[in-house]
Amino acid sequence: MTAPATRARPPRPESLAVTPRILITGVCSAERRRYARLAGIALRRSGRHVVDLPADADPRIAHRSLDDADSICIVDARHALSDLRDEAPLRRAVDAGDARGDVGARARQAATLIEGSTAVVIVNWERVPTVALSILMALVSHLAPTARVRLSRGVPDDLRALDHDSGRPSTPPGERPGWTRALNGAHDPFLTDRRVTTLHYEQLRPLHPERLLSALDTLESGRFGVVVRSMGVCRLATRPHRPARWEQSGSAMWLDPLTGDHGFDDTGQDLAITGIDLNGEAVSRLLDEAALDDRELAAGPLAWLEYADALPAWPVVTADDGGPGLDR
């Protein structure tokens, strides 16, 4: 079977650079461990060290690891789409504040590891229907446009293919995720499928929390297509003085306040939304309807504070003692 996804433009994805470490990642532990073991054998005389990153690694450690080394993300074609929509946590028992215990943490980790990779190797693809494989390859390319995407032909062959032109400069880690590139107007996936799209949604008006919750329920229902991943910045009318980091993976959603010198003081909604069979116009219209209308906008921030807000409270640092407090 040959790769069914079509090429959008001349090849430009990066290859593995010659670095001392190669990180093997992925949420399918059995396939990742097998691949890391065989990669270690194949590279034992090369002077390069293979590191197997556990699927339940602390996301902060995972981010730092991805920043410091080339990485190959192993994706199992048999259940990759399920992994990206998995509601399970990464760990069942965690300390307070450990995001690995969140609902949907496994789906978020699956997406993050793909987005931060320099290469994605798809295993167990041989018996996956061509249509489904094309969608998967395009989805991976939308999530990680600069990564090389390869259908595995065996670990030694994969490593040779990924390393054949290692003189190319690698993409800086912060510029690898597809959502970052979409927000910067530079989203250019190498592999495409007409059923996979990434939408850049912008809206200056703050969101009404109750209508946002209703919109999220509609998006999760699949009425306008399957939203696999969305990332960006948003602003809630009931919390007008602080923008939030919007992150969604599968059916799980996180809205966390941005702190420090974030540079988004004049931003309303700025989102990258990737999915399958998306009706982009309907999704945009749905989110527009969650934003404040003319009358609500004219009422001003003091009136907005009175709106119902069932979203989780935000932790803040109080001005008097520097201790944790709660913000709506």
The predicted model scores a pTM of 0.88
In the predicted structure, residue 189 carries a pLDDT above the cut 60? yes
Identify the burial level of 71 via C-beta atoms within 10 angstroms of its C-beta, where 0-12 means exposed, 13-18 middle and 19 or more buried.
buried
Q: What residue type is assigned to position 328 of the chain?
A: R
16 vs 182, residue with greater confidence: 182
Buried/exposed code over 212-228 (b: 16+ C-beta within 10 A; e: otherwise) = bbebbebbeeeebbbbb
Strand, coil or helix: what is 318?
coil
Using the 8-state DSSP alphabet, how is residue 206 labeled? P
pLDDT for 151:
98
Least confident of 134-138, 247-251, 322-326: 322-326
In the predicted structure, residue 30 carries a pLDDT above the cut 50? yes
pLDDT for 252:
95
Domain boundaries, the chain: 6-192, 196-327
- Interior angle at CA 291, CA 220 and CA 316, nearest 5: 85
In the predicted structure, residue 232 carries a pLDDT above the cut 70? yes
pLDDT for 320:
44
In the predicted structure, residue 260 carries a pLDDT above the cut 80? no
In the predicted structure, residue 7 carries a pLDDT above the cut 50? no
Compute φ and ψ for 95, nearest 5 degrees: -75, 160
pLDDT for 66:
75
Q: Per the structure block, which two tokens stand in for 262?
A: 């974030």
Beta-carbon contacts of residue 288 (< 8 Å; ≥ 6 apart): 203
Task: Find the mean pLDDT for residues 178-207.
Answer: 97
| Confidence category of residue 322, pLDDT binned at 50, 70, 90 | very low
Among the CATH numbers 2.20.25, 3.40.50, 3.30.70, 1.10.10, which is that of 6-192? 3.40.50
Task: Find the mean pLDDT for residues 197-203.
Answer: 98
Q: Are 83 and 28 in contact (CB under 8 A)?
A: yes
Rounded to an integer, what distance in angstroms lies between the CA atom of residue 115 and that of residue 144?
5
Q: Per the structure block, which two tokens stand in for 314?
A: 């935000």
Rounded to an integer, what distance in angstroms lies between the CA atom of residue 275 and that of residue 220?
11
Rounded to an integer, what distance in angstroms lies between the CA atom of residue 178 and that of residue 252?
19
Among the CATH numbers 3.60.140.10, 3.30.230.10, 3.40.50.300, 3.30.1220.10, which is that of 196-327? 3.30.1220.10
Convert the pLDDT of each residue in 84-140 to its tens digit: 999 999 999 999 889 999 999 999 999 999 999 999 999 999 999 999 999 999 999
In the predicted structure, residue 6 carries a pLDDT above the cut 70? no
Strand, coil or helix: what is 133?
helix
In the predicted structure, residue 62 carries a pLDDT above the cut 90? no
**How far is Cα of residue 5 from the mean position of the Cα atoms in its chain?**
21
pLDDT for 58:
86
